[in-house]
Amino acid sequence: MGELVLTTFDWVPETPRGFVRDLRVRWALEEAGLPYRVASTPFDERQAAHFAHQPFGQAPWLTDGDLSIFESGAILLHLGARSATLLPADPRGRSAATEWLFAALNSVEMASLPWSIFQFSGQAADMPAWLDGFLKARLGHMEPVLAGREWLAGSFSVADILMADVLRLVDRFDGLAAHPACRGYVARATARPAFAKAHADQLAHFAAADAGRA
């Protein structure tokens, strides 16, 4: 076990603040009570060293001693191995958390991300009907699941960090209005003190960078 260092952009424009994916990692680290520090990589001019850690030139990545990991899902699974708060130790709970972690990223975010990009970019009116339908179908399947349980894998886990973060972006554009259980789940997850700390820290990180650019 080495020092945990989370790297994110040194600055981002206003719109994505509060939603940059380093938040998922901050949230997990706060839930687990693991010590870490945050480092920055340039947003404007991405260097070779950045691509060496994150081949798509994106954020975040995490280093654990001399181990470097990109992809928020992989980072959360890595942290899960360090903390039963994040990933249950028993095989049944662990596999439930793992399947829901992939469901968040591969079944729900697959629909929600392009949907959100249309919203973000002010082009919602041009969104193809199939994309809206695709997201609604996924939400329609999540709704009874979340109506029937507090957290996806029994106790709170990395699966909830990812699912709640994915759904939170949809909620930002009022996309959960017809799905009250999904909306209630997001409210429940984001009411956790670890989320509040992670969110506030991300906003402070980017706000501090504004001063340097002014």
Ligand X SMILES: N[C@@H](CCC(=O)N[C@@H](CS)C(=O)NCC(=O)O)C(=O)O
Cβ proximity to ligand X: between 20 and 164 the closer is: 20
**Two tokens, residue 75:** 């980072």
Cβ proximity to ligand X: between 46 and 136 the closer is: 46
| Cα–Cα dist 33/211, whole Å | 30
How long a stretch of residues is the chain?
A: 214
Q: Give min distance, CB of 59 to ligand X, in A.
A: 4
| Cα–Cα dist 20/118, whole Å | 17
Stretch that binds ligand X, among 53-61, 83-91, 138-146, 153-161 (CB under 6 A): 53-61
Q: How many residues bind ligand X (CB under 6 A)?
A: 7
Cβ proximity to ligand X: between 59 and 101 the closer is: 59
Stretch that binds ligand X, among 52-60, 141-149, 174-182, 193-201 (CB under 6 A): 52-60
Give yes or no for a contact between 169 and 205, defined as CB atoms under 8 angstroms apart. no
Q: E-strand spans in 10-119? A: 37-41, 61-64, 67-70
Which one-letter amino acid corresponds to residue 151? W
Sign of the four-CA dihedral 131, 136, 141, 143 = positive
Q: Does 85 bind ligand X (CB under 6 A)?
A: no
**Two tokens, residue 105:** 């990223």
Sign of the four-CA dihedral 74, 80, 81, 82 = positive
Q: Which of 59, 103, 146, 198 binds ligand X (CB under 6 A)?
A: 59
Q: Which of 21, 50, 53, 183 binds ligand X (CB under 6 A)?
A: 21
Give yes or no for a contact between 119 and 68, defined as CB atoms under 8 angstroms apart. no
Q: Does 72 bind ligand X (CB under 6 A)?
A: yes
Q: Give min distance, CB of 8 to ligand X, in A.
A: 8
Q: Does 20 bind ligand X (CB under 6 A)?
A: yes
Stretch that binds ligand X, among 54-62, 140-148, 152-160, 195-203 (CB under 6 A): 54-62
**Two tokens, residue 198:** 């992670």
Q: Which of 30, 31, 64, 71 binds ligand X (CB under 6 A)?
A: 71
Q: Does 57 bind ligand X (CB under 6 A)?
A: yes
Give residue number: closest CB to ligand X: 58
Give the closest residue to 166 by CA, choosing from 106, 83, 122, 77.
106
Judged by the rule CB under 6 A, the positions of this chain that interact with ligand X are: 20-21, 57-59, 71-72
